Amino acid sequence: MAILGCDYSYARKDEQTGVWHAVMELNAPLQLMLGLNSGIHIAFTPYHELQSRTIEGMRSKDIERPRNDAIYLLHTKDIYAQRKLDDWTFRETYSVLTLNTGGSPEDAAQDLLARIVIASARNNPYDRTTPVSGDEFFGRHETLRGLVTELRSGRVCGVFGLRKTGKTSLLSELGRLFVLGDPQGSLYVLQDLEVLPSGAEQKIPQLISDVANQLKISFGKHGMRTHELASITNCSTVGDLRQAIGAALRRGVGPTKSVVLALDEVESLVGAETQTSEVQTGVPEFFGALRALVQENSNFNVVLSGITTAPIMYPTLYGRENPLFAWAKPTFLAEISRTESDRMIQALGSRMAARWTHDALSRVYTATGGQVFLTRSLACFAAAKLSNDIASREISGALVQECFRQWRRTAVSLVDGMIDSLNRFYPYELSVLELGLELPNFNELEDDFSNEISNLINLGVLIDDGQNIALAQWTQLGSKFRGKSK
């Protein structure tokens, strides 16, 4: 540890197991290089046979010092320890490395450092297909601040964008920030509507039951009234749900709490055929109940998120007046800025000792246009080609170019899936887009199709540089608009 410039900040023996637990603090250059801003937990076990409960004990051990949860070190007399650890942690998001006690201290130190680098790179931080929050969320800070302000001011918000633009991640981070200001007095309940059944007649009953159950759990943890919510089933009405939520908000400790209900994947509730079908008349009724709850209770608010803006932009839904029409403020998620893209790539890269050149960052942004999922995907391909030698972990423009063709083949399906959103939920916008591709430029369509052009810009499909409106670069990675750049 001394050779690596590290030191212990904590050490204590577990009297029940005889295992010593310690925390090693990396020196500043290594912290910066590896992106490990907290100590590494080390366990010293006296037993000759390593058992899995030792690892479980490490993971659950209460230690007074901050420690990262990606890498653990272990000293053990079991000569088969590393083989066991590799088997036990094969599918885990963390690594446990044995301390090498053979050879010279200098060789042991370099061996340990090399294996820490490999372990840091094991779970490529760019490779995330699930929503991210906290220290893995990057960019859109102004958007987040604006949304938090809107919610605290009592305004209903809508977050919209194509597939893979980071809507769910933003909702998760929004909830974290909303609660962070007042953990005891703020509740943020995120409900994923993608789990709703496909049958139109089953959606509203299931939604009533799911929302009531989610709120009941959250309200119960905060000491709020849950009696009425506990009686809600999929046989209850929208009116029953409204009364139950209202009772919890107005009685007991309810008035002292600020509650936000976030409904994600709203297109699973409001389909593409909102104007022609009259089957789901319960949808506008449900939205009406939400509006009434917001109007009647200053401590309740709603966030809607999804691909389609129909819940707040269509005057009618399924043959009825839309209660939320022009009532909520829409926020669109498209590309992130070059500065935000660079910061995200470099911060995530530091967690696997990866350094990016300016040329490499430029090539990534040029290829992806700042689309978050595509950016992380291309960065993931480049990072996977890095050497395990800590001194050689630099990603150059040439390295990005080397993996570009292979990455582009995988990007086709991602982009096609995003463009398919237009086909389903923005058919008029897609028609205008296709019409514009046959003209010298999209500027000629702005007067006659201003709403459609505006939506395409908001969704990041078109780019307006102040003089010309053009097709976004990332769209040409797919099969539909390849070679259509103007």
What is the model's pTM? Answer: 0.80
What are the backbone angles phi and psi of residue 9, rounded to the nearest 5°?
Answer: -110, -5
Which residues sit opposite 96 in a β-bridge? 72
Q: What pLDDT tens digit does each residue of the chain (486 aa) get? A: 888 888 889 999 999 889 999 999 888 877 777 767 788 999 999 989 999 889 988 888 888 888 888 889 999 999 899 889 888 888 787 889 998 777 888 888 888 888 887 777 666 778 877 788 887 788 898 999 999 988 888 888 999 999 888 999 999 999 999 998 789 999 999 999 999 988 778 889 999 999 999 999 999 999 999 999 999 988 899 999 999 999 999 998 889 999 999 999 999 998 776 655 555 678 999 999 999 999 999 999 999 999 999 999 988 888 889 999 988 889 999 899 999 999 999 988 887 778 899 999 999 999 999 999 999 999 999 998 888 777 778 999 999 999 999 999 999 998 998 888 888 899 999 999 999 988 888 998 988 999 999 999 999 999 998 889 999 989 989 888 876 665
Residue with tokens 């608009």: 481
In angstroms, how far is CA 158 from the centroid of its own chain?
17
3-state secondary structure of 2: coil
Residue 230 contacts by C-beta under 8 Å, 6 or more apart in sequence? 216
Cα–Cα distance list, 6 to 114, 127, 174 (Å):
15, 30, 37
- Domain 141-332: give its CATH code: 3.40.50.300
Alpha carbon 315 to its chain centroid, in Å, reads 31
Domain ranges of the chain: 7-122, 141-332, 426-486
3-state per-residue secondary structure call for 421-467: HHHHHCHHHHHHHHHHCCCCCHHHHCCCCHHHHHHHHHCCCEEECCC
What phi-psi label fits residue 355: left (phi over 0), alpha (psi between -120 and 50 degrees) or beta?
beta
E strand or H helix at 409: helix 397-425
Q: Cβ of 414: how many Cβ atoms within 10 Å?
A: 18
Q: Which two tokens stand for residue 298?
A: 């200053």
Residue 134 carries which DSSP code?
G
User: Residue 72 gets which letter from DSSP?
Assistant: E
